[in-house]
Every structure is written in structure tokens, then in C-alpha cells.
Amino acid sequence: MSGSAAPASEPLRRFLQVARGAGLRVSAAEGIDAARAVQMIGYADREILKDSLGLILAKTPEEKASYDEAFELYFKRDDLGAAEDETGEAQRAPAAWAQGGEGGQGDGSGQGLGQLLEQDDRASLATEMEKAARESGIENIRFFTQKNLYARRILDKMGLRRVERDIEALRQSGTPEGLGRAQFLEGSVDRLRDSVRDFVERNLILFAKGETEKFREELLKSARLSNLERRDLDRMRVLVRQMAKKLAARYAKTRRRRLRGQLDIRRTMRRNMGWGGIPFITVWKQKRIEKPRVMVLCDVSGSVAPMSQFLLMFLYALNEALSDIRSFAFAGSLIEVSEILEKEPVEQAITKIMETIGFGSSNFGNSFADFEEGWMKDVSNKTTIIVLGDARGNRTDPRTDIVARLSERSKRIIWLNPEYKSAWGTGDSDMYRYAPFCNLVTVCNTLRHLERAIADILEDAG
């Protein structure tokens, strides 16, 4: 290959490393053929690139499935690169990142990053992030404990320190214009940090293949579910059942919690009648801890569907410690799905639910109205309401009045949002409108988050 092709060969070299880690047997000759193909077709058309490399690298149906997943995850560039035009259609960022990241401003000096953030130039920001990641040695990441380290390295190389100094200077100016710019830049920096963390996590998943099974499981528990590959879903289902069984065993033992120090005198005397009332056997008062009554409202629209599926799996694997669960699924409207989940194996039930109502556009207000009309009468002061959703109703009426009434009737409302907090309140997000009526609003986009949320429900039972 000529010297001019060198920049284009670098992302291909990394992708071949990822493909081998995914189980594809890529020979040296196939690597050369792949390089020649990329030299001819380039990176601009992703579908042509995918089909061309697939013909060279994937030789069996199993390898084809592994190849498709590795390709989609490796070339996923939608956090910063997808902007919207005036019609609302998503626009893919140019493939300049794959051509060596030319024209980069991520040299650590900070030149240009603040301007890109102020202009919301997502294509250029994606290019700079890719370049900074290469310079940070992202392909060497192996442990989930390294995520923050690599994220900070990338941000530093993009020039974040300079932007942080600029923000402080704008705040110190005290002028309305300066304070406004500082506030805008702070929000943009928060979103950039979230995008970089997601990018680092995807690279960890890609480059850490082949490590120990235990490490892989810890990674899957801590990874954002939207970043995982389809091939990981079976393992995730096993992990969900294991985590649920562990929680159930822990909290089943505490359903009757002893209150040491409070002697039940009447029962102690009755128990010791055979010894003339001498208290050889003491009986302590016990507090019966009720199993929590839970109603779960899951957003199963396209963006949130994976998280909802795992929440339902988690809850229905907790039948030892969690009873009286009623489940509802919604997108544009809401239906009860408890009977489906009770009568069929949970994986099949979830598939049926998604086919019935899933993957549509969200309308939270209409869904809350459906719930109020059909099931509000079943809510009592012992009911915990869990809402899993991104609170994005596509600019429809959010019906916060219904959520307010639901808050008055229920024991508490817990809202689990799979989006990062920096995205709340942006665009069509109504999260901050719903938040005042919730007892807890928290980010929830990993199995660890789900485990923590459900453990809190069990801990607070009764």
C-alpha cells in the first residue's frame, strides 16, 4: 500500500483487532484483502464498507453474526455525530474520523474546543474525540476501573482544561452576556463528558474481549445496556437471574425482623407455664415486614425498550421477596401486561409484550391518562410506583396533574431514567416537570443501577 493510504489503514487495523477478539479468524492474507478493499471504497458509505469487509472476514453464519455486532459497535458514532436538520432527520457525521482525524484541534492547547461547543458542531467534536482517543491509546483499555482515566485523558487532549478556565473567566466577568455564555458552555461540557464516557465504555467492550469470565460479567453489570452487543443478551439474562436470586435470599430472611430489647411478656409467660412461670425461654416481639406492593410502568418505546425488558425480568425473578407485582407497558398508550408475564416464561412474555405495544413513539401524558382511567382505583398508600422511562413525550401534554394525583394516593413514586442527567430537560424531555411529584428520580441504565434500585425497594418494605 502506498504511503497516502496509511491514515486510512489505522482504523482498519483496530477493527481487525476487535474482530479477532470477537472470535473471527482473520488471517494475514485476509487482512491485506481488507486493506485493499478499504483503499478502494473508503469509509464514507458505511453499508458498502460493512458488506465488503463482511465478504472478506466472515466465513460462517456464526462469524457473520459476530462480525455484524462487532462492526455496528465499533462504527457506532451517534452521540456527537448525529445532529438534526430542519426537518428533524438525523444527519450522520462525516467519516473524517476514519481518515486520520485531520484538521484536529485536540492538541491539549484548547484551541477551538470552546468554539465547537458554542456552535454545537457535533461532526467536528466527534472527529476531535476520535483523534484524542487514538492519542490516548484507547485500544489498550482492559479494565472497567480504567474508564474514568481514559475519559479524562481524552477530554484533556481535546482541550477541556482551557475551556474550564474560559468558563471561570466568563463567570468572573459578572456581565449578563458572560454569565449566559458560561452557563451554556457548562451544559455543553456536561453533555460532552457523557458522550466521551459512552465512547470509552464501547471501546472497553470492544477491546477487552478474551479476558476472564468474571471480568466480563463485572463489565456487563456496569455497562450501559444500550452499549451492549446482542450476543451478550443471553449472558445478561443469566446475570439477572443470579442477581435477583441473591437479593431474594437476602431479603427473604429479613421479612420477620427481631426487635431485640422488647420482650413479649405475655408470650414469654405462656411459653414457660411448664416451669412454673420461670422464664427459661424468652420470646421477643417481632415486626412483620410486608412484601412490597409494586406497580411498574415501563416505557417500551424504541429508545428505552432494552432497559424495560431487563427491569421486568429482574422483578419477576424476585418472586421470593417481592409479591403483588402489577406490570404495565406503554409507548403511545398503556396496557397491563401482568397476565402475560405470569402465564409465559419471562423471555417469551417480554417478546410478546414488545410485539404488542413496543417500539412506538412515546406519549407519556396519554399513557398516564390510560392508567388513571383503568387502574388508579387500585393504588393505595402501601403501593410503590416505579416508572421506567426517559420522560420524552415528543412534545405532547405531559399530564403532570395525573402524576400529582398518583403521588397523593401512593406510598411513593420512583422514576428510573436511562438517560444521563445532563440530558434531562433538554429538547422534549419533561423530566424536571415530573420530578417534584416523585420521591426518587435517578439515572438507571445498567444492571448495577437496577440492582441498587430494587434493593432500596426491598429495604424500605413495610
176 and 321 belong to one structural domain: no
Cβ burial, residue 275 (10 Å; 0-12/13-18/19+)? exposed
For residue range 3-61, list pLDDT tens digits in order. 333 344 778 888 887 787 777 888 888 888 898 898 888 888 888 999 999 999 988 88
Q: Which of 92-101, 158-167, 254-263 has the lowest mean pLDDT?
A: 92-101
Mean of the per-residue pLDDT values of the chain: 79
Query: Does 284 share its domain with 161?
Result: no
Tell me, yes or no, whether 14 and 62 share the same domain: yes
Q: Of 270, 288, 306, which closes a domain?
A: 288
**Would the CA dihedral through 394, 399, 402, 406 be positive or negative?**
positive
pTM: 0.58
Q: What residues have CB less than 8 Å from 80, skipping those under 6 apart? A: 93, 122, 123, 125, 126, 129, 192, 195
Residues 173 and 33 in one domain: no
pLDDT of residue 71: 87
Which of helix, strand or coil describes residue 462? coil
* Domain annotation covers residue 296: yes
DSSP string of 283-350, one letter each residue: -EEEEEPPPPEEEEEEE-STTTHHHHHHHHHHHHT-TTT--SEEEEEESSSEEE-HHHHHHS-HHHHH
Tell whether 350 and 442 lie within a shared domain: yes
- 270 shares its domain with 327: no
- Any domain includes 299: yes
Instruction: Look at residue 94 in the predicted model and tell me its pLDDT.
Output: 33
Domain assignment present for residue 87? The answer is no
Residues 56-84 have a mean pLDDT of: 73
- What pLDDT digit, counting tens, does each position of 270-282 carry? 766 666 666 656 6
Are 423 and 194 within 8 A, CB to CB? yes
* Same domain flag for 304 and 403: yes
Cell numbers at 277, concatenated: 412461670
Domain that holds residue 403: 290-459
- Co-location of 381 and 420 in the same domain: yes
Q: Is residue 234 part of a domain?
A: no
Structural domain count of the chain: 4
Residue 57 shares a structural domain with residue 202: no
Q: How confident is the model at residue 166 (pLDDT cuts 50, 70, 90)?
A: very high
Please give the Cα distance from 277 to 27 (Å, whole number): 86
With respect to residue 110, please indicate whether it lies within any of the assigned structural domains: yes
92 falls within a domain: no
Pair (284, 372) in one structural domain: no
Is the same domain home to 313 and 301? yes
Whether 405 and 453 map to the same domain: the answer is yes
